[in-house]
Amino acid sequence: MSAALLFAVFGLTGVGIYLITSRSLSRIILGFVLLGHAAVIALVTAGGPPGEAPIAGRSDDPIANPLPQALALTAIVISFGLTLFMLALAGRQQTLSGSDLVEDDLEDRRLAARAEREAALEELREAALAEEEES
Amino acid sequence: MIWWLLVLHLLGIGVAVLGGRRGIRTGLIAAAVAPAITTVWALTQIIDGDTEATARLMWVDALDIGFEFRIDDVALLMTLLVSGIGTLVFINATGYFSADADGGTRFPATLLAFSMSMLGLVWADSIWTLFIFWEATSVTSFLLVGHKNTYADARNSARRALVITGAGGLVLLAGLLILAEQAGTSTISEMGAVSGAAATTAAVLVMIGAATKSAQFPFHVWLPGAMAAPTPVSAYLHSATMVKAGVLLVAVLSPVFVDVGAWKWTGVAFGIASMLWGAIGALRQTDAKLILAWGTVSQLGLLITLFSLGSAKAIFAGTSLLLAHAVFKAPLFLVVGEVDVRTGTRDITKLDGLNRSMPIAFGVAVVAGLSMAGVPPLLGFPAKEAAIEAALGLSGTERAVALPTIVGGAVLTVAYTTRFLIGTFGPGLEGRTEVAPRRVSMTVATVTLGALSVLGYVFAPAATALVRAAAIESNEKAEVYELIRWPGLKTAFVISVIVVVLGAILGWFLSQRSIRVPDTVGANAADEMVDGVLSWAPRITAAIQHGSLPVYLATMGFAMVVAAIPFVFAIETDHLVAWDNPAQLALAVLTVAAALAGAFVGSRLGATLTLGAVGVCVSGLFVIHGAPDLALTQLVVETVIVVGFVVGLGALTTRFPETRDSWRTVRLVLSVLGGAGVTMALAASASDPSGTPPIEALTDGAKDIGGGKNIVNVILTDLRALDTLGEVVVLATVTAGILALARVVREEQQVSEGAVATRTGYALISTPSPTVRTAIRIASPFAIVLAAYLFFAGHNNPGGGFAAGLVLGSTVILRTVAGLPRRVKPRKAVTIGTLTVAFVALVPILFGDPFLDMWIGSIDVPMLGTIKSGSALVFDLGVTAIVVGLITASIEGLSTITDQVMADARKARDGATT
């Protein structure tokens, strides 16, 4: 296994993670593409040593393992399709909110607000009880 | 027969709902049919003496999961109690409820559902069946306790009962699973005795489960609260049947746990604590129903103690008391219910002179009460004698612990019984109580049940037969014992006399003074625990499920890092080389540099361009590795993606928003760790190569099966065509998604400002230069030829359907750039492609071949010679069409959305200037 390829995987994964944890949807897409590259290289690297192109009868030298290549090809095309879809989503987000920032999930924020409200209510109730006991 | 009885109950539930529409009394009578028939069946079984019945309905045979029932003698005794007392309770309830009471469709059906669950529990012979019906009794009990659902008190009590018995059920399940593992079977009747550490754990867990159900200290707190239920429910569930489930479980499993010391001592500890604390509790209440409820806790404690001790005498005494207790406690509760209905109160300080105004109820209460106190000539007497005998028969520590507590508990029992009778029926502290007229149905039930205590004594041999048969199931040596009507002057009898005298004096003394009812400390503590859980749950949820996507992703990233740690130790460096080729190192460094630049460059356009650079470098790495197909595809994909970014994001503000510094640090750390983790895992994967890649098999397979030389392409279109089929379905779906998003935006535009003439989205990438336009016009036919070449060559050389589709798609983009007319309709392309792919996949089935089986033939293509291929080529054609459709749809959709973004921005700007 080549350390150079490992380095490429390291760099692409690292930068990819850095980008997808950002709030800007367009940066997340960039990160997604980089992670896709990292995954494909990892797949091919794990598949075995390099060799001649896997085309039968072209050369007598050993060929590279073709199976991970087929899987990688599928992976490339799928991440291609998803990237285009995410771009469309980013654009739609822009038309709706005026920015491409990822907001916190509405349902989750509602839940958090409910928890806060209930905690506050409980405090009020306890305060009222304490007052009642005093008087 | 078991199935028939269960179906009968199910039908009964339906009929009870229907009958309940005409009033609660009709519903109750309808519901009473099933228990009545079951009682008759149980009686005939007992008289026949041929008692064992089994039924099995397996679901997962290999795992022993299914419904398994077995009615042995214990189960038969319990059936008699459950269904017999059940029938009388239904009859009594028709008097307890007024004719126009609410809940007619609800109450009778639920009570019958409980009755059925209880039967299932009693009959269960596998841990799964047992657990299911165990939980069913908890749930139906919850519904019944909370019957008066408009009262906060009833709801709280129901919740408390459910939480405690439900939690106990889970503990029980854990215990049963361990037990089944140890015993090697989940069928209870096939289990042999177990021992060892795991068996001890199982024993303690099962005992805790039993203790929650049978209201043992400190889990007893739910039982007094459950008195919020209508009194017939209390009489049925909380004295005669459901609370006996725990006792029954201890009885059934005592042969299995006979060698486990912890089983005995956990049970005895629960039992003794409950026996004493329950009796003390009963002496401190002024509500007649609560006196009985606390008394039940005490009695159950005695039962658990006896069954846990497990000696033949103790088991026999326990079984006798099980029967006697059901027969005296149910009528006592029902009498209290009658008192409540006819006077409007159950407070013993307010009731006065009921011995004269309610003579029949008084008579029943005296009979049942004396049986509870263990006075002859009533069934309770020989049962209590047996218990004292059992304690006397013990030796060593067991005797030292059990004898004084059982005797002490008996004294307290006599005391609270005396106080109950004097308080309820004797003179009160406030004037005479008004009494409403008697209701026949209530009297029928109470008198019948009350009479059983007498009959049990009179026909002691018959009762002995019933009890002995049941006791033998738990301990075979129990067959020598019997219920003795008059023992003569033996030690146990002397003790009994002393117990009754002492208890009566204590009870009389206490009934003459007013007692301050203690606070329900335990129940409050239990409620606070539940409230605490309920109030903390949303807070914890809010903290964990915070809704921030970046934080979620970061959490997953850190988890991934942790998961990667073991790989570090699996790396063997001798499999590593620095590089395969010096160019590889250069390209790898360039790739990472471009990616880093993309992350830290401030402008979106700059980031997009670095993305293109990364793609090109990665293609180079593929070339070096010997993957020309990947390199080719990657290059074209990268081109299209860059264009997509420009069109899709071009309208956004040109610079990225700023983020907080602290979060940035976290992200940086995570990035380095995450990258390292993935790299370590990858390096470790190469360190232990298990076998060699099946390259030869794939090469031969490509030639023989797929008829092509390009192995990757044959894999994609033939050997693993199912993967490709799944992939193009993803692409088709994505296309539909993009088109749908664009359509929504377009419709909004038309609603707000009519048709939009400007094509600003295209303007971002199109050029007015006539030179470029001409060049593209000339280039497009060549591009089409190139695509055709790649398509046909793909079977034997680098290329194939994806590459051809991507090249064609790029041509569409080029023509768009040049402002030339676009001839591809994305929806049509995707539809045709999907249909083609589906056609190739499905047609073989018509000829009896497997799905996606490819047909091979030879085709002559000009310039390329003869190509040996077949339906795989058609399949690839479908793939090409879908890829072209996707690219066209993306360009069209993204530019439509961008139009809207820019129109919005313009409007905002105009608004700002005017």
pLDDT value of residue B413 = 94
Residues A88, B890: C-beta atoms closer than 8 Å: yes
Is residue B287 classed as helix, strand or coil in its secondary structure? strand
- CB of B360 closer than 8 Å to CB of B438: yes
The beta-carbon neighbor of B579 closest among A4, A12, A34 is A4
Give the minimum alpha-carbon distance from B696 to chain A in angstroms, rounded to a whole number: 10
Pair type for strands B856-861 and B65-71: unpaired
User: Least CA distance to B596: which residue of chain A?
Assistant: A15
Chain A residues near residue B698 by CB distance under 8 angstroms: 54, 66-67
Pair type for strands B65-71 and B865-870: unpaired
For the cut 70, the answer to whether the pLDDT of residue B460 exceeds it is yes
Give the minimum alpha-carbon distance from A35 to chain B in angstroms, rounded to a whole number: 10
Contact of B648 with chain A, judged by CB distance below 8 Å, is answered with yes
For the cut 90, the answer to whether the pLDDT of residue B695 exceeds it is no
Which pTM was predicted? 0.67
B754-773 mean pLDDT: 63
pLDDT value of residue B882 = 93
Residues A14, B672: C-beta atoms closer than 8 Å: yes
User: Least CA distance to A5: which residue of chain B?
Assistant: B588
Chain A residues near residue B553 by CB distance under 8 angstroms: 17, 20-21
B866 phi/psi in degrees, rounded to 5: -85, 130
CATH classification for the domain delimited by A3-103, as one of 3.40.50, 3.30.360, 3.30.70, 1.10.287: 1.10.287
- CB of B48 closer than 8 Å to CB of B82: no
- CB of B499 closer than 8 Å to CB of B414: yes
Which of B108-112, B341-345, B871-875, B895-899 is modeled with the greatest confidence?
B108-112
Model confidence pLDDT, tens digit, residues A90-125? 888 888 877 777 777 777 778 778 878 877 888 888
Stated as kind and residue range, the H or E segment containing B170 is helix B152-183
DSSP letter, residue A102: P
pLDDT value of residue B757 = 47
pLDDT value of residue B128 = 92
Q: CA geometry: angle at B43 spanning B305 and B128, to 5°?
A: 55
For the cut 90, the answer to whether the pLDDT of residue A56 exceeds it is no
B283-288 mean pLDDT: 89
Give dist(CA B516, CA B523) in Å, integer: 18
Provide the CA B267 distance to its chain's centre, in angstroms.
29
Read off the tokens for B856: 């091979």
Residues A81, B886: C-beta atoms closer than 8 Å: yes
Provide the CA B332 distance to its chain's centre, in angstroms.
39
- CB of B784 closer than 8 Å to CB of B808: yes
Pair type for strands B865-870 and B856-861: antiparallel
pLDDT above 90 covers what percent of chain B? Answer: 43
Regarding an ipTM greater than 0.90, the answer is no
Chain B residues near residue A87 by CB distance under 8 angstroms: 644-645, 648-649, 890, 894
Give dist(CA B111, CA B93) in Å, integer: 11
Residues B627, A44: C-beta atoms closer than 8 Å: yes
Give the minimum alpha-carbon distance from B144 to chain A in angstroms, rounded to a whole number: 29
- Long-range CB contacts for residues B186-190, cutoff 8 Å, separation at least 24: B186/B64, B186/B65, B186/B126, B186/B127, B186/B128, B187/B64, B187/B68, B187/B125, B187/B126, B188/B70, B188/B124, B188/B125, B188/B126, B188/B127, B188/B130, B188/B252, B188/B253, B188/B256, B189/B70, B189/B72, B189/B125
The beta-carbon neighbor of A21 closest among B553, B712, B741 is B553
Which residues in chain A (96-125) have CB-CB distances under 8 A to chain B?
98-102, 104-109, 111-112, 114-116, 118-119, 122
Model confidence pLDDT, tens digit, residues B11-46? 999 999 999 888 889 999 999 999 999 999 999 988
Give dist(CA B94, CA B97) in Å, integer: 6
For the cut 90, the answer to whether the pLDDT of residue B542 exceeds it is no
Give the minimum alpha-carbon distance from B601 to chain A in angstroms, rounded to a whole number: 11
User: Least CA distance to A12: which residue of chain B?
Assistant: B592
Give the minimum alpha-carbon distance from A127 to chain B in angstroms, rounded to a whole number: 17
The number of helix segments (H) and strand segments (E) in chain B equals 34, 4
- Mean pLDDT estimate for chain B: 86
- CB of B57 closer than 8 Å to CB of B67: yes
B286-312 mean pLDDT: 92
pLDDT band for position B136 (50/70/90)? very high
Q: What secondary structure does DSSP assign to B200-220, as a single string?
A: HHHHHHHHHHHHHHTT-TTGG
Residues A87, B622: C-beta atoms closer than 8 Å: no
B619-634 mean pLDDT: 92
Give dist(CA B639, CA B650) in Å, integer: 16
Give dist(CA A3, CA B698) in Å, integer: 28
Residues B595, A73: C-beta atoms closer than 8 Å: no
- CB of B506 closer than 8 Å to CB of B411: yes
Model confidence pLDDT, tens digit, residues A17-43? 999 988 888 888 999 999 999 999 999
Which residues in chain A (25-84) have CB-CB distances under 8 A to chain B?
26-27, 29-30, 33-34, 37-38, 40-42, 44-58, 62-67, 69-74, 76-78, 80-84
Chain A residues near residue B615 by CB distance under 8 angstroms: 37
B686-710 mean pLDDT: 74
First to last CA, chain A: 80
Chain A residues near residue B668 by CB distance under 8 angstroms: 18
